[in-house]
């Protein structure tokens, strides 16, 4: 028997995409910038991450080679705006060491691995949990994994689709099962970001197009990419932690008791 929640998630995807269009996640110029951003965004706002990325870029150190050759104390100063800068500088150095030792310093070689194999390697690194690992896999490596964050959990709980305490893996698999058919072809063709009419008003959590957000990727990866950005848009703009603005949300009509 199929899970009725999968149909509901597909409806949510089409509703949000029709309202807001492409979200252009992840905003970055390179795969390594996505990885650095995934580390830096832990426990801080994206605004603070952008300041840190700008500092690294200005110092011409936003690369594997740049982080490799930069003393940790200097790296700490450059990413200070992102908070927990000592931990994050140390973890970035650990990632580069892992890349060097396990994959010859090559992101291409690293991302060529099977998804589950690489996911296990990433999760074994200090400072990488499931959300960070899956962000790296999806946005930097174009692996078909769905990223679950606090916004995803909050929206699903308030729509009574999951119970509090539902595991990360259960939610991830639910979204992957629900969204894979949206790709239509099973995810084998290569596509760029899909296009929807531009509308005035809120655009979810959309960013300006960037080299990474407009990169070629499989249809399944593109749908997972868009849905994560769309859910973040719901959480940031309407389904906030301390305030619910349901009357303005595109998903308002799907709340329990509204039909």
Position 150 scores a pLDDT of: 96
Size of the chain, expressed as the number of residues it contains = 259
Q: What is the spatial distance between Cα 256 and Cα 24, in angstroms, rounded to a whole number?
A: 30
User: Longest C-alpha distance within the chain, in Å?
Assistant: 59
Residue from 6, 11, 24, 47 nearest 233 by CA: 24
Contact 220, 6 (CB under 8 A): no
Phi, psi of 55 (to 5 degrees): -65, -45
Q: Is 88 exposed, middle or buried (0-12, 13-18, 19+ CB in 10 A)?
A: buried
The pLDDT tens digits for 212-238 are: 999 999 999 999 999 999 999 999 999
In the CATH scheme, what is the homologous superfamily, with its name and number, of domain 31-140? Hypothetical protein; domain 2 (1.10.340.30)
Q: At residue 259, does pLDDT exceed 90? A: no
Residue from 127, 174, 130 nearest 149 by CA: 130
pLDDT (mean) for 236-255: 94
Position 188 scores a pLDDT of: 40
* pTM given for the model: 0.93
| DSSP 8-state secondary structure symbol assigned to residue 187 | S
| Residue 220 CB contacts under 8 Å (≥ 6 apart), including other chains | 144, 179, 180, 183, 186, 187
Domain ranges of the chain: 4-25+151-254, 31-140
pLDDT bracket for residue 203 (50, 70, 90): confident
Q: Which of 70-79, 189-198, 243-252 has the highest mean pLDDT?
A: 70-79
pLDDT (mean) for 253-258: 86
CA Rg value for the chain: 18
Token pair of 114 as six digits = 């099977």
The pLDDT tens digits for 106-132 are: 999 999 999 999 999 999 999 999 999
């Amino acid at each position: 028997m199929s899970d009725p929640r999968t149909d509901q998630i597909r409806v949510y995807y089409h509703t949000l995409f029709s309202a807001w269009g492409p979200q252009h996640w992840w905003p970055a110029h390179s795969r390594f910038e996505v990885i650095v951003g995934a580390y830096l965004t832990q426990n801080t706002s994206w605004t603070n991450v952008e300041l840190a990325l700008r500092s690294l870029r200005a110092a011409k150190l936003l690369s594997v080679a740049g982080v490799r050759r930069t003393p940790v104390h200097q790296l700490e100063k450059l990413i200070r705006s992102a908070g927990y800068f000592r931990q994050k500088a140390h973890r970035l150095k650990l990632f580069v060491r892992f890349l060097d030792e396990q994959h010859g310093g090559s992101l291409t070689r690293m991302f060529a691995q099977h998804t589950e194999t690489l996911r296990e390697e990433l999760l074994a690194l200090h400072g990488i949990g499931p959300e960070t690992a899956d962000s790296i896999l999806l946005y930097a490596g174009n692996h078909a994994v769905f990223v679950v964050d606090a916004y995803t959990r909050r929206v699903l709980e308030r729509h009574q689709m999951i119970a509090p305490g539902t595991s990360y893996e259960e939610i991830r698999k639910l979204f992957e099962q629900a969204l894979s058919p949206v790709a239509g072809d099973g995810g084998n063709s290569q596509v760029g970001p899909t296009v929807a009419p531009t509308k005035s008003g809120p655009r979810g959590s959309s960013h300006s197009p960037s080299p990474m957000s407009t990169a070629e990727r499989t249809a399944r990866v593109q749908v997972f990419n868009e849905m994560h950005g769309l859910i973040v848009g719901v959480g940031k703009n309407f389904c906030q932690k301390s305030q619910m603005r349901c009357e303005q949300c595109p998903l308002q009509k799907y709340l329990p008791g509204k039909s």
